[in-house]
């Protein structure tokens, strides 16, 4: 069978689009939904989707990157770009889905569809590992399972593939039907259905019924009856079913689950005989996903012996792309997840987003793409690296080295990982961002270990996807045209500095704000070009502020005068921000000073008032709504007076996080998003709608068994009248774990159980009472995460989440990840 060829004219026909074509014969290979991830512009078509932001706003960006083919819904662009092909449709997302469905229907390959609430991606990746020996598999990249992700996944199908494994995720009713049409799975797998994402549904039954629509036309459905207790037998989809359970009768009835040394031994009854398998995992979620894979292999006709032999070799799937500090001031992006060209493109986008070092190096192994000629593959990789402005390639493997001539920048090649490790002491790595990406068999974990600083065992993990999710959440709440300033003061509320600012810059916020000039300078040095407001500009730092194009907040006549003095006679229209005190009484001009301010502003052309702003003190609290309204009114009055003398209109802004969610009237020209970005908003009950961004983890160093009456820690504060067991963990008040958590006030999670502190918190360590719980040295202790929340910690010691976050000291390593 041949791969179909899609000219833009052919696509117009498939989409039934109103086409304005300059050249209908252009062949399209890539579907683009994000103007930032352009691969091969001449063979790409850009879909102007309107999700959080209107995709038409990025047409120019795509045009500048040489894209000439567009699917749009607003015809006004056609005349603006006369050298482009335009397909005008009613709904760009539907068009994307329609094209993917058409593509899918060209092939009659076997397909497995996976849905559920948890485990979809792991089950997909494991089935890939288990079945790769027998099939040429195409699968969803990472967790591309949305209304956009599914069509992009299916678009990858080529004639050579013999099996497709695709995941589908939904969050509301009436979403699955379309995904079902695109994937059209012959075999269906339901993973753990959980309680997650229940918001878009009125009940668990509704959620389940919607998800199962994926399998309405499937031949075979693999599931556990425990996941579908809400449904009757007639509601179970599939012409045939294969069930598995560890609690009730099933085709694969699991009778024993025994952990042995990090592995798990499973026994079951299958076709009236006892069978067994060994899973190389011990945690609950992996065991459950392992059972699903076991059931799938048997349902596909593999013998129990074959299944056992394959399952035993499963390897851990890390879906993370991690950003860590490396040796010699390098930043390391560790992506050991999978090594195919689509995930390479994703990783390169991330590399490009982080601008802290001018030099970008990629360490890449041979890639194995089924059904592609090496020269073809490496040509595409070389183009990709070139486009993403990579400066140096270190290729590892015998294949990539054969194509050295394709890479037109600094390169070095090694036969295998061992050869690299041996040569490592003589290699230069300094002040650069390094992407480490290799196929599993190359064991690149060894390389990232060499490059990263030893991680002290207490780590703050920052989920960048969650942070972007929170940004989009607030974007969806602001009115069109309102600008977004992101508050990155105090190391982005403890989460990091340039790493976060780079992320926000990539996601196109309009402004950043920091507290001190130093913070702003650090961001400039890391490649941040966004305008940056400095809220406490010290006089001694004016020179540096001007040199780095930082924009000071001006809150008094004195500071205004001295800033004017610091500007040279040649400065013209230097941007400043005027702070009005509308009721907080911290910094800012009040009504009585306005006249003096006029006098100074009136005849200075050295400065330009970029914005006028004030700060709400209780926007999240209903009991102070009257005061908030007064603040808004007072601010408007003063701002209006200022606009009159200035003769132009600067941006007006007053809303912080809970202002955005509770006071639409306060949005004005710009909002200042702070704590909401990091997952908290006092105006939202339980922070509903926001995602958890940060997890703080430490490790157990030692376990001790104490006799009745023995005491723990300084001043003998911890008492154990009946004796018991304690664990010492590597975090103390110097790391930001407040002394107030001592003596049972604070708790940590170990192996899924909450355990209290005992005795006083020490500078670098804390003791926990683990009496009656199975814990050993080296186990992980969670200080806070999604379940044991920062909100809880804040309430335990009578403070607010802001303080818990910003107290985490700089010696605690930050690890950033993308999933």
Q: How far is the CB of 482 from ligand PLP (least distance, A)?
A: 15
State the number of binding residues for ligand PLP (CB under 6 A).
Answer: 10
Nearer CB in complex with ligand PLP: 139/615: 615
Q: How far is the CB of 531 from ligand PLP (least distance, A)?
A: 15
Residue 44 and residue 65 in contact, taking contact as beta carbons nearer than 8 Å: no
Give the x-and-dash track for 632-661 against ligand PLP (CB under 6 A).
------------------------xx----
Scanning 318-408, the segments in alpha helix (DSSP H) are 341-353, 374-387, 398-402
In this structure, the number of other CB atoms found within 10 A of the CB of residue 657 comes to 27
Q: How far is the CB of 607 from ligand PLP (least distance, A)?
A: 20
Q: Which listed residue (161, 211, 475, 615) binds ligand PLP by CB under 6 A?
A: 615
Nearer CB in complex with ligand PLP: 348/580: 580
Residue 391 and residue 361 in contact, taking contact as beta carbons nearer than 8 Å: yes
Q: How far is the CB of 376 from ligand PLP (least distance, A)?
A: 50
- Measured over the CA atoms of residue 605, residue 606, residue 610 and residue 611, the dihedral's sign is negative
Residues in the chain: 819
Using CB under 6 A as the binding rule, whether residue 662 contacts ligand PLP is answered as no
Nearer CB in complex with ligand PLP: 89/466: 466
Using CB under 6 A as the binding rule, whether residue 577 contacts ligand PLP is answered as no
Using CB under 6 A as the binding rule, whether residue 666 contacts ligand PLP is answered as no
Binding segment (CB under 6 A) for ligand PLP, from list 154-162, 310-318, 674-682, 792-800: 674-682
Using CB under 6 A as the binding rule, whether residue 801 contacts ligand PLP is answered as no
Nearer CB in complex with ligand PLP: 179/486: 486
Tokens of 685: 């009950």
Three-class SS of residue 317? coil
Q: How far is the CB of 487 from ligand PLP (least distance, A)?
A: 4
How far apart are alpha carbons 251 and 268 in whole angstroms?
A: 10
Using CB under 6 A as the binding rule, whether residue 697 contacts ligand PLP is answered as no
In the numeric block, the tokens 């500095």 are attached to 497
Tokens of 737: 């774990």
Q: Which residues contact 513 (CB under 8 A, 6 or more apart)?
A: 485, 486, 487, 488, 489, 532, 533, 534, 535, 672
Using CB under 6 A as the binding rule, whether residue 554 contacts ligand PLP is answered as no
Tokens of 184: 């059209």
Q: State the DSSP H helix or E strand holding residue 95, giving kind and residue range, or none if neither.
A: helix 92-104
Q: Which listed residue (169, 188, 496, 674) binds ligand PLP by CB under 6 A?
A: 674
How far apart are alpha carbons 700 and 785 in whole angstroms?
A: 17
Binding segment (CB under 6 A) for ligand PLP, from list 360-368, 404-412, 671-679, 804-812: 671-679
Residue 610 and residue 551 in contact, taking contact as beta carbons nearer than 8 Å: yes
Write out the binding residues for ligand PLP, residues 462-501 only, by CB under 6 A: 487
In this structure, the number of other CB atoms found within 10 A of the CB of residue 256 comes to 11
Give the x-and-dash track for 528-547 against ligand PLP (CB under 6 A).
-------x------------
Using CB under 6 A as the binding rule, whether residue 388 contacts ligand PLP is answered as no
How far apart are alpha carbons 85 and 14 in whole angstroms?
A: 15
Q: Which residues pair with 476 in a beta bridge?
A: none
Q: How far is the CB of 404 from ligand PLP (least distance, A)?
A: 51
How far apart are alpha carbons 488 and 643 in whole angstroms?
A: 28
How far apart are alpha carbons 788 and 280 in whole angstroms?
A: 28
Q: DSSP string of 309-373?
A: HHHTT-------EEEEEBGGG-EEEEE-S--SHHHHHHHHHHHHH--S-SEEEEEEE----TT--
Write out the binding residues for ligand PLP, residues 36-55 only, by CB under 6 A: none
Using CB under 6 A as the binding rule, whether residue 345 contacts ligand PLP is answered as no
Using CB under 6 A as the binding rule, whether residue 211 contacts ligand PLP is answered as no
How far apart are alpha carbons 789 and 731 in whole angstroms?
A: 17
Enzyme catalytic residues: 489, 714
Q: How far is the CB of 212 from ligand PLP (least distance, A)?
A: 41
Q: How far is the CB of 670 from ligand PLP (least distance, A)?
A: 11
Using CB under 6 A as the binding rule, whether residue 675 contacts ligand PLP is answered as yes
Nearer CB in complex with ligand PLP: 515/594: 515
Q: Which residues contact 516 (CB under 8 A, 6 or more apart)?
A: 534, 535, 536, 538, 541
Binding segment (CB under 6 A) for ligand PLP, from list 176-184, 374-382, 592-600, 667-675: 667-675
Using CB under 6 A as the binding rule, whether residue 672 contacts ligand PLP is answered as yes
The footprint of ligand PLP (CB under 6 A) covers: 487, 535, 615, 656-657, 672-676
């Amino acid at each position: 069978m041949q791969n179909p060829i899609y000219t833009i004219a052919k696509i117009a026909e498939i989409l039934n689009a109103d086409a304005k074509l300059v050249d209908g014969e252009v062949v399209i290979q890539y579907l683009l939904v994000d103007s930032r991830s352009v691969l091969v512009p001449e063979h790409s078509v850009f879909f102007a989707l309107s999700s959080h932001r209107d995709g038409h706003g990025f047409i120019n960006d795509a045009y500048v990157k040489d894209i000439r083919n567009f699917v749009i819904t607003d015809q006004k662009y056609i005349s603006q770009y006369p050298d482009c092909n335009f397909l005008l449709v009613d709904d760009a997302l539907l068009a994307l889905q329609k094209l993917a469905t058409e593509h899918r229907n060209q092939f009659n390959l076997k397909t497995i569809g996976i849905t559920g609430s948890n485990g979809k991606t792991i089950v997909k990746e494991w089935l890939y590992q288990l079945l790769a020996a027998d099939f040429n598999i195409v699968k969803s990249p990472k967790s591309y399972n949305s209304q956009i992700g599914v069509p992009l996944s299916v678009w990858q199908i080529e004639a050579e593939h013999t099996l497709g494994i695709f995941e589908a995720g939904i969050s509301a009713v009436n979403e699955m039907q379309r995904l079902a049409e695109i994937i059209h799975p012959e075999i269906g797998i339901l993973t753990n259905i959980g309680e997650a994402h229940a918001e878009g549904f009125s009940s668990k039954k509704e959620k389940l019924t919607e998800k199962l629509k994926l399998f309405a036309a499937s031949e075979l459905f693999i599931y556990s009856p425990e996941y579908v207790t809400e449904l009757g037998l007639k509601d179970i989809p599939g012409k045939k079913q294969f069930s598995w359970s560890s609690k009730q009768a099933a085709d694969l009835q699991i009778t024993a689950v025994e952990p042995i040394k990090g592995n798990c031994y499973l026994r079951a009854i299958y076709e009236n005989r006892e069978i067994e398998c060994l899973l190389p995992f011990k945690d609950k979620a992996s065991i459950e996903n392992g059972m699903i894979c076991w059931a799938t292999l048997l349902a596909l006709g593999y013998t129990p012996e074959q299944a056992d032999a394959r399952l035993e070799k499963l390897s851990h799937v890390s879906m993370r792309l991690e950003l860590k500090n490396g040796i010699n001031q390098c930043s390391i992006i560790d992506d050991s997840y999978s090594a195919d060209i689509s995930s390479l493109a994703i990783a390169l986008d991330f590399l490009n987003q982080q601008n802290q070092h001018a030099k970008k190096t990629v360490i890449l192994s041979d890639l194995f793409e089924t059904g592609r000629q090496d020269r073809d593959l490496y040509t595409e990789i070389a183009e990709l690296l070139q486009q993403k402005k990579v400066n140096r390639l270190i290729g590892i493997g015998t294949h990539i080295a054969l194509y050295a001539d394709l890479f037109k920048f600094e390169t070095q090649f090694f036969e295998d990982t061992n050869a690299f490790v041996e040569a490592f002491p003589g290699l230069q790595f300094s002040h650069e961002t390094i992407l480490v990406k290799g196929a599993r068999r190359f064991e690149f974990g060894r390389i990232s270990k060499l490059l990263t600083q030893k991680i002290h065992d207490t780590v703050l993990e920052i989920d960048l996807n969650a942070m972007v999710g929170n940004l989009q959440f607030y974007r969806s709440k602001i009115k069109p045209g309102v600008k977004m300033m992101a508050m990155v003061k105090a190391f982005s509320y403890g989460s990091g500095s340039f790493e976060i600012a780079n992320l926000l810059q990539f996601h196109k916020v309009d402004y950043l704000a920091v507290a001190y000039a130093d913070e702003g300078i650090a961001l400039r040095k890391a490649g941040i070009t966004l305008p940056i407001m400095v809220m406490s500009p010290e006089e001694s730092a004016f020179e540096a502020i001007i040199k780095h194009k930082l924009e000071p907040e001006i809150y008094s006549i004195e500071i205004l005068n001295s800033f004017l003095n610091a500007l040279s006679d040649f400065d013209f229209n230097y941007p400043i921000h005027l702070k009005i005190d509308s009721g907080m009484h911290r910094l800012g001009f009040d009504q009585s000073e306005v006249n003096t301010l006029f006098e100074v502003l009136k005849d200075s052309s050295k400065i330009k008032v970029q914005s006028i702003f004030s700060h709400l003190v209780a926007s999240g609290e209903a009991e102070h709504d009257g005061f908030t309204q007064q603040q808004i009114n007072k601010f408007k009055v003063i701002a209006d007076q200022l606009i009159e003398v200035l003769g132009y209109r600067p941006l007006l802004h007053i809303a912080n996080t809970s202002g955005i969610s509770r006071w639409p009237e306060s949005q004005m020209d710009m909002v200042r998003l702070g704590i909401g970005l990091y997952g908290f908003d006092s105006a939202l009950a339980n922070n509903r709608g926001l995602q958890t961004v940060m997890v703080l983890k430490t490790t157990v160093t030692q376990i001790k068994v104490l006799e009745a009456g023995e005491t723990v820690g300084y001043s003998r504060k911890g008492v154990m009248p009946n004796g018991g067991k304690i664990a010492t963990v590597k975090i103390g008040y110097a790391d930001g774990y407040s002394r107030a958590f001592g003596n049972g006030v604070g708790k940590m999670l170990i192996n899924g159980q909450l355990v209290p502190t005992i005795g006083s918190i020490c500078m670098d360590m804390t003791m926990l009472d683990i009496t009656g719980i199975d814990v050993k040295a080296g186990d992980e202790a969670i200080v806070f995460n999604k379940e044991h929340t920062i909100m809880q910690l804040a309430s335990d010691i009578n403070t607010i989440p802001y303080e818990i976050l910003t107290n985490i000291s700089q010696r605690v390593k930050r690890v950033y990840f993308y999933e």
